[in-house]
Structure 1
């Protein structure tokens, strides 16, 4: 395999692994039953109103956001961004069907599952972003709206997250302490993961070139 092909294979592997780790974190948070991340409050709330699965709603909402971004930006989406949301939804459905993350009753065990799930989500997000194959739909829409409105990225992201949380709560999604803990923890974990995986990608690229 050529050097270019080796680098691309490594990037794809990190991308897929990151999506799977993030999906596993989502399932851990769900099974902890102490609240889920704001967008998952919406996804789960919509499952209560329809016959569609959690993973399917992840895909529908994500593709809708990609479509909005494309219409506003007048550009075709990157294939990696579409794969991003489709695969996360698939992985979540697959993990839930396998039932490999059991629900527990003891509070201390549920707290551990919650924290572990948040760490997995942040770590996985850092992995797939570091691969530079395809950002998540929320990232693209946040950046575009911030550019068009002149508002800060933080403000736009807060509005999007708050809207998702409100709609999810109205749809009886699971809002609890874990929802607010995830708001505080996912970002720092993702930042640390992104820094780590960018360094690893550089090392892997150097190794492939040697």
Structure 2
């Protein structure tokens, strides 16, 4: 057994297009775009020669089955980034004040940065999660305060998880509380969150005489 701490005496390098095309397991209307999986034959082996104490290149196949150009390389995710420190600092400032994705994207294009819309989305999600979370928490707190101020009889409860984070927020309007007070045998289940996914259910439980 070769110890894990020892580097291998040879490595095989292949083209980034060298993987075989895999059949998509999805059955949606939009097929997956694996434009880089072309089974490109380009490869070579770098081997360490113990006798000569040097690296040797062997078994080279130096041809591609896809176009090679600077324009094609510019479309790869590894080559797309914000390379100008000044532009990156300004983008961070735009993220801090809640600028829209389209504004940030247009700004980057105006300053010759090689990015696409998806890169801006990832930038906002990865680089600034705290701002998004804080904005959401503040907006939720404002909505609950406005709900309580609209009517003194409006009620709200906030349940926390074991980790101390907000779990479930329950809201009851004054009208709902009055109806429940008069008809306690009536149970109303209102699933109002994301009603395009969850149906609004009304369950009636009437006593039998």
TM-score higher than 0.5 = no
**Richer in strand (by share):** 2
When Rg is computed on C-alpha atoms for both structures, the one with the higher figure is 2
Query: TM-score with structure 2 length normalisation?
Result: 0.21
Tell me which of the two structures has the higher relative contact order, counting C-alpha pairs closer than 8 angstroms and 6 or more residues apart: 1
**Richer in helix (by share):** 1
Query: TM-score with structure 1 length normalisation?
Result: 0.21
